[in-house]
Chains A and B, each alone.
Chain A
Amino acid sequence: MRLQVVLPLAACLSPVAAIFSDEVNHIDFHHALLGAPSPDSTFFLKPSSSSNASLLYTISEKSIVGAVNPRDGSLIWRQDLGRFSSSPTGPGILRGLDGNSAVVSAAGDSISSWSAQDGKLIWESRLYGGAVADLELLELHDASESPDSRDAIALTYSDGTGVVRRLDGDLGKTKWEYKDTSGDMAFQVSSSPTEIFYISLQPALLKGYRIKVTALDPVTGRQSRHVILNSESDVTGQESILFVGANTASPLIVWTDKSLKTLKVNVIGTKHVTSLPIDNASGLDIGEITVHAPRKLNSLAHFLVHYKTKSGAWAEVYHVDMKSSVVTKAYNLPYLQGQSVVATNNINANVYFTRVTDAEAVVVSSASHGILGRWKADVSTSDPALHAVADVVTKGKTVAVRSAVIRESGDWSLIRNGHTEWTRPEALVHTVAAAWAVEEDLEDLAHELEIEGHESLVGAYIHRVKRHLRDLQYFPEWLKDLPKRIVTSMLSDEVSNLDSFGVAQSIILATDKGRVYALDTGRHGIIKWAIQAEKTSDWDVKAILANPGSAEVFLGDGSSVRVNSSTGEILAKSPPTDVKLQTIATINQQAGLSAAQNGAIGIRGDGTPVAPLDLLSGFLVTTSSDGRLLGWARKDSKFPVWDFVPPAGQKVVKAVSRPSHDPVASIGKVLGDRSVLYKYLNPNLVLVTAVNEQEHIAGFYLLDGVSGKVLHSVSRAGVDPTQPITSAISENWFAYSFFGDALEESSAKGYQLVVSELYESPIVNDRGPLGSAGNFSSLHNERGDSLPLPHVVSQSFVIAEPISHMAVTQTRQGITIRQLLCVLPSSNAIVGIPRHVLDPRRPVDRDPTSAEAEEGLFRYAPFLEFDGRWYLSHSRDVAGIKTVLSQPTLLESTSLIFAFGGDIFGTRATPSQAFDILGKSFSKLQLVLTVVALTGGVMFLAPMARAKQVNMLWKST
């Protein structure tokens, strides 16, 4: 009886399970993602002049600057520019130069310089005059400057005014600026060893643009001359110009005529335009032309033009004569079927082109067409490559190449001499929805067990015997595996061998780029399969519903895609309907004997369900876009049975309900004197957050989802609506967090976390007005009054940083204490706060009495410091998390955690420590050896002892 108190107490008092450093990478996994790299801002660079090792730098389309180790694909550092820039426009620009210890990035109107080695900010400069259109690093530098910092040339453009600035490489200060107010469209900047060129597009009289090149003095920024190229018949906009050679020995401007018949090349600074005929031998339409030229001043003035058609590609290499500015064709790389991408790099003056096709990788020198190296690709992928950067190393006559290829799927992989070294699934950064896959066979067993549960004793027995006889067919296989299993279980510890306990589950992800992935949480989150469900860049995924063996992705246009959850095969696609959906209600209800009945109902923006609720055996609660909450009864999808409108000026911003799997192990809370406070348990609770943005008031309303009755409400003034306001509800408690301003002297200013517990009655051993009734109804009641109100106990804590998302751990039976999972966006971490720390009944301003201490309560402290042991993410930098999912496993102690939205992170949480798992220190081998040694000892000693006893008998008489 005492155990009733002692067990939860022991669970509370035991030190909260922390993630130990030897468990990192063992029970958890983390995909630190950047997003798909931006093609013209991705490069290999040696971060320090002392070391020969180079890193792979990129800025992704999510405006994240990052450095990746080309050896294993691990992230060295990253910086999210979106966090600093007010208005990120486009992916941004990243530039680096060999010999420069910094890389310079631009996003929106701000330019920042990062230490190439460790990603620390060197300087940041906000430029007035529009967004940064182009950015170059000056390779030439004055003798007076430090040798490892290069000045940057930035071009900003807004409303017809282009401004070129030279920024100091050490401090980021503007050295000079050149303002072009002629109304031309500022396009790019480029530099030659002696001059800086500002290239703008001047609107021609009728249509098209003329290219205007203004040469500036690098030291003073004064305009020295300008050249206007007659290109108005060809150039219709920025996209018409294929290439503006940046920092090359002979900077080029390349464009084509409209019919893609001739290539026009101009060496910047000259008036001469060379027309080169495009020799299209394939006869197919040219889809894409790209120009590849080396970016270093001292390299040879050679460049390559790559032509892509629908089914193949070829390339032509041209040489520029520096003196006469004449462009001549040197040779061409033959037309090959399939996809191909070309990358350029140079060693000293020599320029090398690396061509990566589906089947092989080829390295050629720009000087001659002789193939220096050729490697067969080890894996053939149907995933077309979009762009590549290469790093060629020569050793005598042989060359080695590693090329980082960006593929259409968003994968970024490094191919070293034809062998794929690593692949980073960068497209996972776009994950918008996820669901745990349900395995088919598990569901079968649950179904069979349910049948047994409903049959008579004899019937159930016969059913079970039959089932076991059926299962006998797997017996020989099981027997065959047995020795192997015993050996492996001896050698490996228990923690790593829990796959059969539901610790290894698959999770289905959908991205807004139309891709669906399945990750295996048991094997470090590797991708089991990935499919392109739809070719789109804006896939409006609303929900994923997992059924046994399959998963259905619901979209905002009313369509859905059903995929096989173990293979990724598309099983069915339903066409879009004409209504725009806001959310999808996924319904997972137990319908009598048959297995769980799953369904989905689309909800329109105004909160009305699309279809009648025939599927449903209950009520439906929806949110409407105008900030109300609506309740719907079965079979009436026109008129809601209730609606909740928050007080004037407030708008519903968030509503949460208890998780669908939220078992309650004990219906009461046992106090120190062993009396009971009964929990207020109602699965239909909704916690609504409504915000008045003008008056900075936040209201938190606890509603009954069936009747719409407000059970409890709190209004808080001085809430900052721009800071994250988030909430979670589980069991008999809810929590919310916001930034509160100090309105009076006694109130706290800062991020606050408020926890409220609901009880049936404030009196112990009392079950409230309903007494010992076995069930309750929100609508009908003999006493006339409907649902009794809960007794609410609340406590608030001041926390150091905002919480952007909250979730609660789920375990199989709910015996394990729960953790409140909080996403901390400012420290890029996920913490699991144990529930007993957040107990609102903690004694305030006094030490706990012995009874309270026995209950596990300790003195309340207003400031809640996140204990290092609560960090589920350990020391990892888990950035951009939007949603955290929790899933129970077959082990009561363990809950699976999966976080997505930016990075992908998965781990196992054991809030009451892993009490049902043998620890790492437990050695089965040692146990067996001890038993064997003891048995041996007994067998050896037994005859001796027997002989001694017999002798004693003889000698005593």
Chain B
Amino acid sequence: MSSPLPPPPPPEWVVAMNSTLPRPTKAASSIPDPPGFSSGRGGKQRQQQQPIAKKAEDTDALKMKKAWEIAIAPSKQLPMNAIMMYMSGNSLQIFSIMMVFMLFKGPIQGLISTNEAFARYETPSTRGRLVAVKLVYILMQLLLLALGIWKVNAMGLLPTTRSDWLAWESERQPLERAFFALKG
């Protein structure tokens, strides 16, 4: 309570993981791998990491590639969403309302978190090139939003027709009034 205890020594496996793998001895490397074990992946990783770590330009290119993938990703949803919206009908039901809600929620969240989405790929060197990527990303999200607005309009929720403003129009008042004394 009075003073914090010294942190306990890290467990053995933590030490083992943090320390680099000891180079296998000659004898050990001569031992064939058990059947089914492939050391290729680990080896590849090692091989890839080494050049990335070495070459910053390659890293940037890769990051840009990844960023582009993220930017284009919403457009892949577009056909699926369009079909879903088309199929769900224009009636006001809880299911279609929820789908429309999700359709709006996704792009809006995406737009808000544009910078976060690309934060991982943002380095001083990629920043300039990333602007275009972000613009494409925003465009894609806007396309999705447009799909949502199209759907909402199709459902008749947008005040675009004359009837939507009918309540604000008033009856024409007559300047003269007639009274009636009619027989029969």
Q: Which residues of A contact B (CB under 8 A)?
A: 1-2, 4-6, 582-585, 587, 589, 601, 603, 609, 616-623, 625, 631, 653-657, 664, 666-668, 670-671, 673-676, 681-684, 686, 705-706, 764-765, 770, 772-780
Looking at B5-13, B75-83, B108-116, B163-171, the stretch in contact with chain A turns out to be: B163-171
Interface hits, B134-179 → A, CB 8 Å: 155-159, 161-164, 166-167, 169-179
Inter-chain CA distance A619–B176, complex, in Å, is 7
Beta-carbon nearest neighbor of A787 in chain B: B174
Q: Does B31 contact A (CB under 8 A)?
A: no
Beta-carbon nearest neighbor of A675 in chain B: B162
* Sample of 5 more A-B contacts, CB < 8 Å, known A671-B163, A684-B178: A1-B156, A621-B181, A683-B174, A770-B172, A772-B169
Decide: B182 and A583 in contact? CB cutoff 8 A.
Answer: yes
Inter-chain CA distance A1–B155, complex, in Å, is 10
Beta-carbon nearest neighbor of A667 in chain B: B171
A674-B161, A682-B174 given; A668·B180 CB < 8 A = no
Minimum C-beta distance from B184 to chain A (A): 5
Minimum C-beta distance from B118 to chain A (A): 38
Instruction: Return 15 A-B CB contacts under 8 Å, by A number.
Output: A589-B177, A609-B181, A621-B179, A622-B181, A623-B183, A625-B183, A667-B171, A676-B166, A683-B177, A683-B178, A684-B178, A686-B180, A764-B162, A775-B175, A776-B173
Q: Which residues of B contact A772 (CB under 8 A)?
A: 169
Out of A5, A617, A631, A775, name the residue touching B173 (CB < 8 Å): A775
Out of B159, B175, B184, name the residue touching A1 (CB < 8 Å): B159
Q: Which residues of B contact A (CB under 8 A)?
A: 92, 155-159, 161-164, 166-167, 169-184
Out of B155, B166, B177, B180, name the residue touching A667 (CB < 8 Å): B166
Inter-chain CA distance A483–B171, complex, in Å, is 46
A585-B179, A670-B166 given; A623·B184 CB < 8 A = yes
Minimum C-beta distance from B8 to chain A (A): 19
Q: Which residues of B contact A668 (CB under 8 A)?
A: 163, 166, 169
Decide: A675 and B180 in contact? CB cutoff 8 A.
Answer: no
Inter-chain CA distance A774–B158, complex, in Å, is 27
Inter-chain CA distance A706–B164, complex, in Å, is 33
Minimum C-beta distance from A805 to chain B (A): 11
Inter-chain CA distance A603–B171, complex, in Å, is 32
Decide: A583 and B183 in contact? CB cutoff 8 A.
Answer: yes
Decide: B180 and A705 in contact? CB cutoff 8 A.
Answer: yes
Decide: A705 and B178 in contact? CB cutoff 8 A.
Answer: yes
A2-B92, A4-B164 given; A681·B178 CB < 8 A = no
Beta-carbon nearest neighbor of B182 in chain A: A655
Q: Which residues of B contact A666 (CB under 8 A)?
A: 166-167
Decide: A619 and B184 in contact? CB cutoff 8 A.
Answer: no
Q: Which residues of A contact B155 (CB under 8 A)?
A: 2
Beta-carbon nearest neighbor of B157 in chain A: A2
Out of B159, B161, B171, B178, name the residue touching A618 (CB < 8 Å): B178
Q: Which residues of A contact B176 (CB under 8 A)?
A: 618-619, 684, 706, 777-779
Q: Which residues of B contact A601 (CB under 8 A)?
A: 181
Out of B163, B167, B180, name the residue touching A5 (CB < 8 Å): B163
Shortest Cβ-Cβ A-B pairs, 8 listed: A705-B178, A585-B181, A618-B177, A674-B161, A777-B175, A684-B178, A670-B163, A1-B164
Beta-carbon nearest neighbor of A706 in chain B: B176
Q: Which residues of A contact B182 (CB under 8 A)?
A: 583, 621-623, 654-657, 686
Minimum C-beta distance from A160 to chain B (A): 41
Inter-chain CA distance A413–B175, complex, in Å, is 56
Beta-carbon nearest neighbor of B155 in chain A: A2
Minimum C-beta distance from B87 to chain A (A): 17
Out of A5, A587, A705, A776, name the residue touching B156 (CB < 8 Å): A5
Decide: A774 and B172 in contact? CB cutoff 8 A.
Answer: yes
Q: Which residues of A contact B180 (CB under 8 A)?
A: 585, 620-621, 655, 657, 686, 705
Decide: A619 and B177 in contact? CB cutoff 8 A.
Answer: yes
Minimum C-beta distance from B166 to chain A (A): 5
Decide: A681 and B172 in contact? CB cutoff 8 A.
Answer: yes
A4-B164, A674-B156 given; A582·B178 CB < 8 A = no
Minimum C-beta distance from B173 to chain A (A): 4
Inter-chain CA distance A584–B171, complex, in Å, is 30
Q: Which residues of A contact B92 (CB under 8 A)?
A: 2, 6
Q: Which residues of B contact A684 (CB under 8 A)?
A: 174, 176-178
Beta-carbon nearest neighbor of A682 in chain B: B174
Inter-chain CA distance A589–B176, complex, in Å, is 13
Decide: A773 and B172 in contact? CB cutoff 8 A.
Answer: yes
